[in-house]
Structure 1
Amino acid sequence: MQSDSFTFSQRLHQSEAPFSHFAWVGELGFVSGLIGQHPAHGRLVSEDASEQCEAMLNNLATLLDEVGASSQRLVRTTIYLTDYDDFAAINEAYGSWLQPPYPVRTTVQVAGLPLGAKVQIDAIVALGQSPAVASSERGAP
């Protein structure tokens, strides 16, 4: 099995939790759960679900840009929300951020999210070969 690439973004909040923001495995990228945190200080941008959603999507865009991808390459997203009454506001922010064809999506209500967030997203993105695999196949160290 070839080496895969794992990224802890320098452009997102620097959490001390043991995880990677992004994993590039084969031709797919996997985005860990992102919330509406301010990248500099890590606090939620607001108590408002739609503002958290916009910040969350901006964080996703930042991460995708950092790994050389974009929202057009999203294949699947999962939206976690703590109150289904926020679905319409979250759906509006999500729909205005993406262009058709939309990725497949699952939306799930959960009991709680990190920092008391109201919404969280994780995603799968189609990328092509990971840099580690491509380098290995070219004979690079």
Structure 2
Amino acid sequence: MSQVTVVSTPNAPAAIGPYSQAIQFGNLVFTSGQIGLNPVTGELVGSDTASQARQAFANLKAVAEQAGGSLANVVKFTLFLTDLSEFAQVNAIMQEYVQQPFPARSTVGVASLPKGARFEVEAILAL
């Protein structure tokens, strides 16, 4: 059986609870959700979905790189939005970070997110 490895980087926000930024099991990496927190200050980068989504993807990219991969290794994204009317805007931002062929993806509308965030993303990577 493969060994479980904790993935952690100072280039993404530290976990704000009892969890890891990501866990690697064999060639799979399971990330925790990333919101638009500045990794240095621990504060949201802005009050709008666009700036938070860009920061969340940048945070996720840092975790993927620490695991030895990139966002090109993502096989599944799960996106969480507090306002599904911003779905098209988030699609456009996602394409700034991920190229075709696009990974599988689910998008979920939620009532609230940690720290009052408007957007969160998690991923599964295959290295």
Q: Normalised by the shorter chain, which TM-score bucket?
A: over 0.9
The within-5 A match list for 1:62-73 is: 62-73=62-73
Structure 2 CA distance for aligned equivalents of residues 12 and 27 of structure 1: 21
Residue of structure 1 in register with 2:7 after alignment = 7
- Mapped pair 1:24 → 2:5: no
Q: CA deviation at 1:86?
A: 1.2
- State TM-score, norm by structure 2: 0.94
Amino acid at match of 1:11: N
Residue of structure 2 in register with 1:136 after alignment = none
**Structure with larger Rg:** 1
- Listed as ranges, the gaps of 5+ residues in structure 1 are 128-141
- Listed as ranges, the gaps of 5+ residues in structure 2 are none
- Mapped pair 1:116 → 2:116: yes
Task: Write out the 4+ residue segments of structure 1 that deviate beyond 6 Å after TM superposition.
Answer: none
Cα RMSD for the two superposed structures: 1.2
Distance 1:90 1:16, change over 3 A: closer
Structure 1 CA distance for aligned equivalents of residues 21 and 46 of structure 2: 22
- Mapped pair 1:97 → 2:97: yes
Identity of aligned residues (%): 35
Distance 1:14 1:89, change over 3 A: same
- State TM-score, norm by structure 1: 0.85
